[in-house]
Amino acid sequence: MNAWLAQHWQALALALRRLVATPVNTLLSLLAIGIALALPAGGQMLLVNALQLARDGAPTPRISLYADLAADRRAVQQIEARLKNHPAIKSAQLIPREATLARMKSGEGLGDVIDALPGNPFPDAFVVTPADDSPAAMDALADELRKLPKVEHVQLDSDWARRLHALLQVGRTGVVLLALLLGVGLVAITFNTIRLQVMASRAEIELSRLLGATDAFVRRPFHYFGVLLGLAGGGLAWLIVAAATLWLKQPIGELVKLYNLDFALSPLALVDSLALLGAAGALGWLGAGLSLRQHLGDH
């Protein structure tokens, strides 16, 4: 076990020395990788913030439930109890028909018209706030509420949620597509960098093989080189996104104040940051592996 760890430590140290030995090439590769990865990472950061801003600025989605005009007070109370005990409902507010009648009478020009009616034409109503405001969850809850006894009509207010969900799907698809395209670019950069490293170390590789070195021993430093290059590029991408966040924070803060919104631009989340570094390291390893298969496969 100690020998295995020592071999990996030696391979890592050799990869670090090779990175430092060609500072100009390493710097150019890191800049290319960092800028490429900063684009999807910045897109993810902006997407998360846009979603939060949309949720803060948009009205809370609700479901309006209207009882049957023939429903008595006991039936309305039973409906209210079932709504308040429902696990998928965050809150349910009863609007008595008497309150609706009084509000409508106070409207200009409506008092005489309503007084001429034989009775109260307005039903008892409930304003329901769902616990899950996704379009699918709201549709399912509305369908369930329509089956309640003494319920005449259920009105679903989820148009904005559907639009937000559709925009979010478009944004996510765009970020994923951008990440895939630029990920291919990262693999290509690592592939070419490892190729140059193999060419520069050809004599050393041949000597190692003559001394009995295995394929794994020869390839290991190059794999570490690719992973380190990817991780360093991912770290640079994170710094670029963090700098862009700080730069945009003040102008965006001034903009949202004009709309009386309580919002502050948030940096890249911890999970997204770890995903960025993990993907960068994995793509670096993949690029190194493809390059080694191409340029060391004949040995």
Best CA proximity match to 229, nearest among 31, 96, 73, 58: 31
| Residue indicated by tokens 């209210």 | 80
Mean per-residue pLDDT over the chain, rounded: 82
Rounded CA-CA distance 115/124 in Å is 19
Q: Is 190 helix (H, G, I), strand (E, B) or coil?
A: helix
Q: How far is CA 278 from the centre of its chain?
A: 16
Regarding pTM above 0.85, the answer is no
Residue 163, pLDDT > 80, answer: no
**pLDDT of res. 273:** 93
Using DSSP's 3-state secondary structure scheme, residue 244 falls into helix
| 75: exposed, middle or buried (Cβ count in 10 Å: 0-12, 13-18, 19+) | middle
Report the C-alpha gap between 95 and 101 in whole angstroms. 10
Distance (Å, whole) CA 15 – CA 71: 79
Residue in the structure block whose two tokens are 């290059």: 229
Whether residue 280 has pLDDT greater than 60: yes
CB 218 within 8 A of CB 197: no
Q: Which residue has the higher pLDDT, 246 or 23?
A: 246
199 has a pLDDT exceeding 80: no
Given this model, what pLDDT does residue 158 score?
63
Bridge partner residues of 89 (DSSP): 130
Classified as helix, coil or strand, 75 is: helix
Distances (CA, A) of 205 to 4, 154, 210, 222, 229: 20, 75, 9, 11, 21
Segment of 96-105, 142-151, 190-199, 217-226 carrying the highest mean pLDDT = 142-151
Q: Residues 265, 252: contact at Cβ < 8 Å?
A: yes
Q: What would the mean pLDDT of 168-188 be, rounded to a whole number?
A: 86
Span 127-154, average pLDDT: 86
Q: What is the number of residues in the chain?
A: 299
Note the pLDDT of residue 298: 47
Question: How high is the pLDDT of residue 112?
Answer: 63
Q: What single-letter amino acid sits at 226?
A: G
In this predicted structure, what is the pLDDT of residue 56? 66
Distances (CA, A) of 115 to 105, 120, 227: 8, 9, 80
Residue 61 has pLDDT above 80, yes or no: no
User: Which regions of the chain carry the CATH code 3.30.70.3040?
Assistant: 62-157
Q: What is the mean pLDDT of residues 58-84?
A: 85
For 62-157, CATH number? 3.30.70.3040
Predicted confidence at residue 223, as pLDDT, reads 83
Please give the full DSSP string across 223-261, using - where no structure is assigned. Answer: HHHHHHHHHHHHHHHHHHHHHHHHHHHHHHHHHHHHTT-
62-67 sheet: strands from edge to edge: 89-95, 125-130, 62-67, 151-157
Mean pLDDT is lowest, of 67-81, 127-141, 171-185, 190-204, for 190-204
